[in-house]
Structure 1
Amino acid sequence: MTAQIDDARLTSLLAQGTGDILKGVRTVGLLRGRNLGDAGDDLAQNWIARVLEQHRPEDGFLSEEAADNPKRLSKDRVWIIDPLDGTKEFATGRQDWAVHIALVEDGQPTHAAVALPDLGVVFHSDEARAVSGPFARKITISHNRPPQVADHIAGKLGFETVPLGSAGAKAMHVLLGDYDAYVHAGGQYEWDSAAPVGVARAAGLHCSRLDGTELSYNNRDTYLPDLLICRPEVADDILALAAGYLEAHGRY
């Protein structure tokens, strides 16, 4: 591990630098559609891997865009990365895509950063603060796989559901107070939530599975079926409604 740069700064710079690379690839306008998305995934992954190889060669690594190396399971420190979360949104000119960078130690994110490059902001776990104040009375959900349990919860609370793209974008907009909760069911992987959870938890938001189970990272099976990130004031109500829905329907 190099002494020149600490974990907090490295996490933040990785998110910032990856976002800058991706914006540059898109801005020149030479690629579009799937070619643009694939180029963004490849370039971002390559740059992050090279930075970590130079600065943290002994750490483990897990990324959506790289083959899994099981040696990470024996590591106390593992970087869990999604170089471009929301490839479709990125490739079609939308703003709700993100870069996820998380350092996980003993199963929990200790340093995390989520970049929303089109908004020009990087949220970092060392300095994130959730917005308080009046409820937005909104729950953000996936626009690709909207979960029925979210409609149930929103209806009971008198909230509305609003679809967005990237998991990182959804989580950070809860942090900003635009939404009161992010409810997901239908499957994700560790790289989808490690960084958003690291930032959101550090900012004071509730983060768990939909049954209230604590989230854990760097597992052999990287699949995570469901997720709740929300203001702590509504966590108990949402968890209770999710439990009732599961009992009635047998699934989320």
Structure 2
Amino acid sequence: MPETDLDLLVRAARDAGDIATRYFKNAPGVTNKPDGGGPVTEADLAVNAMLESSLQAARPDYGWLSEETEDGAARLSTNRQFVIDPIDGTRAFIEGNRDWAHSLAIVENGRVIAAAVYLPIRDLMFSAEIGGGAHVNDQPARVTASALQGATVLGTRPNFADDHWRGGAPPIKRAFRSSLAYRLCLVAQGRFDGMITLRDSWEWDIAAGALIAAEAGAIVTDANKRPLLFNNAHPQLPGVIAAGPELHAGLADRLEPPRAKP
């Protein structure tokens, strides 16, 4: 029986973990991308090379978008695309923090249809396919049914500055994890009530986690309450809000227009 897209992503994510863990806490070489693009390690590049080779061999007609591969227009004419972050949370990886992830997604007609996010140091595999629900280590994942008051929301401190919100910052508790993909998965798992980023977000950071959160019952939109659409010519989206329906509405309705970047 042919390997499904989801099975392919899960297998590839585990293979990525095998590579990355060999570099973790082992002084990997680090360089800085041009124009303030952030650090990249030997591990990022090694994982990316493996994923690009193995995934495109398995699905040669799928387009390719990855943080560590120079982008081009070819993917725009394909029916399906891989959207890949070889290591989401590179700074955490460099610092020896466990909260980095491999984020793998497949997009069709702008929508994510299969996704895997793997944290090898924590041995957490989050997965989802459209219409099939979300899972963490093969167990069903479900978001909380929190209201705004007293919710715990993942995000960086600048997102909760008073000037972004009608009436000041909402009555929530704030938490943080380095990886955007992991933040979305933690919402899916119900460990946190929601997540928000008001900054423009690269598609590879959020594609896989967005499907996993949505299949766990979250409403997932950009910061303007619009559905997320992927495989854009410029692969960025204007922020992300992910939470159960009541909390999502509470957060989105209190944001001040226009959606300023923190």
Shorter-chain TM-score above 0.5: yes
Given the superposition, is the C-alpha separation of residues 213 and 133 from structure 1 closer, same or farther in structure 2, using an over 3 Å criterion?
closer
SS across alignment from 2:121: helix
Name stretches of at least 5 consecutive residues in structure 2 with no aligned partner. 32-38, 136-140
Question: Could you tell me which of 224, 246, 250 is aligned with 1:233?
Answer: 246
Normalising by the residue count of structure 1, what TM-score does the alignment of the two structures yield?
A: 0.87
1:77/1:104 contact within 8 Å kept: yes
Mapping for residues 138-157 of structure 1, pairs under 5 Å: 138-142=152-156, 146=159, 148=161, 152=165, 157=170
Q: For 2:155 and 2:4, how far apart are their aligned partners in 1?
A: 35
Question: Could you tell me which of 224, 238, 246 is aligned with 2:257?
Answer: 246
More helix by share: 1
User: What's the Cα RMSD here?
Assistant: 2.5
Question: Could you tell me which of 106, 113, 137 is aligned with 2:116?
Answer: 113
Question: Could you tell me which of 40, 56, 78 is aligned with 1:53?
Answer: 56
Partner of 2:144: 132
Question: Could you tell me which of 2, 21, 24 is aligned with 1:23?
Answer: 21
- Give the number of aligned pairs: 243
Name stretches of at least 5 consecutive residues in structure 1 with no aligned partner. none
Aligned-pair identity in percent equals 26
Normalising by the residue count of structure 2, what TM-score does the alignment of the two structures yield?
A: 0.84
SS across alignment from 2:155: strand
- Per-residue displacement from partner, 1:206-244 (whole Å, max 9, x unpaired)? 1001221111000111121211111222111111001xx
Given the superposition, is the C-alpha separation of residues 131 and 212 from structure 1 closer, same or farther in structure 2, using an over 3 Å criterion?
closer
2:145/2:245 contact within 8 Å kept: no
Partner of 2:34: none
Given the superposition, is the C-alpha separation of residues 212 and 171 from structure 1 closer, same or farther in structure 2, using an over 3 Å criterion?
same
The alpha-carbon deviation at position 21 of structure 1 amounts to: 1.4
Q: Bigger shift: 57-66 or 162-171?
A: 162-171
